[in-house]
Amino acid sequence: MIRRQEILETVSRVVAIPSCAGKAAALLGDPAAEMSELARIIEHDPGLTANLLKIVNASFFGGGKPMRTAGEAISRLGTLEVLQFILSTGVAPSFVHRIDGYDLAPSMHLQHSVTVAMAARELGKALGLDAPDHTFTAGLLSGVGKILLGVYVQVNAKAILDLAMEEGLSFDQAEDAVLGINHAEVGGILLESWGLPPEITGPVRHHLRPDKAPEIDTVLDLVHIGNALAKMIGVGLGVDGLNYVPSVAVIQRLGLTAEIVDRVCANVVEELRSVRHLFVQCAEDACPL
């Protein structure tokens, strides 16, 4: 049974990210904004400040003097990493729970999302592209729709899987046929409702089917291939990887080669090793990565 409207109504009832996080994210999108103002917003939320200091002082950011204030942390991280942190604060607690509809064990969704983000960023570097800072953020949030759609997928799992197997459809195409919507579209709609800019919501909405996007977008291309590489690496792989085929047009547009793919995957695997202990910590504490 098509359940699109019911699912959209569920999305409309989802609580948005904390207001201070939304304000901080908006501030980061303003080139004229002062970092002192950003620090002031964060410092007015004890939980946000505590988590920011916890992350910036983590071992993988490298030695040096421990950070003690939001201002110091922002100075150490830079705007890209602060934006990643702020946005993940609103969704990461949900990312560490089991998502049965997609056969994702606890914390596996978070691991996959971080891998997509890392792969998209690393791919841009390997290709010599001047990729925008929000490439990582779009990759990090690309799978957020699974959190909401998981319960519907679980109830309709047999119909979706049977259709995918019988018709040779990708999992998201089978989702569309059975539910009337797929997890990428749900994610894009959710982030739009939070007021995130189209530079992020567009790649999230279209990352599974970039050929159907209204226009060519480098960030979208990188996140699309980043998702494919995350599946290739095998981190957080669930049933949504069934019959998944990357866009030939994107592969050609980016000029991907086997050598580039191998190098990017190797670099991402190495980077994942440096933060793997945080996945365990997040699963235990439900903290943002």
Q: For residue 227, what is the domain's CATH number?
A: 1.10.3210.10
Domain-located, residue 244: yes
Q: What totals of helices (H) and strands (E) does the chain contain, helices first?
A: 16, 0
Query: Rounded distance, CA 117 to CA 135, Å?
Result: 7
Domain-located, residue 218: yes
Q: Supply the pLDDT for residue 60.
A: 44
Domain-located, residue 60: no
Domain-located, residue 168: yes
Q: If you write DSSP's letter for every residue of 191-211 in order, what string do you get?
A: HHHTT--HHHHHHHHHTT-GG
Domain-located, residue 226: yes
Domain-located, residue 19: no
Tokens of 105: 């064990």
Q: Supply the pLDDT for residue 98.
A: 53
Domain range for 270 is 4-14+98-285
Helix axes 198-206, 218-233, angle to 10 degrees: 50
Q: Supply the pLDDT for residue 194.
A: 73
With beta carbons less than 8 A apart as the criterion, state whether 28 and 79 touch: yes
Query: Rounded distance, CA 36 to CA 39, Å?
Result: 5
Domain-located, residue 270: yes
Question: How many domains is the chain partitioned into structurally?
Answer: 1
* Residue-by-residue pLDDT tens, the chain, 289 positions: 568 888 888 777 765 555 566 666 666 656 666 777 777 777 766 666 766 776 666 644 555 666 777 777 777 776 656 655 665 555 555 544 555 556 655 567 777 888 898 899 999 999 999 888 778 878 888 888 887 777 777 778 888 888 888 998 888 898 888 888 898 998 998 888 877 778 889 999 999 999 999 999 999 999 999 999 998 888 766 666 667 889 999 999 999 999 999 999 999 998 888 766 555 555 555 444 4
Domain-located, residue 269: yes
Query: Rounded distance, CA 285 to CA 71, Å?
Result: 24
Q: Give the global pTM.
A: 0.74
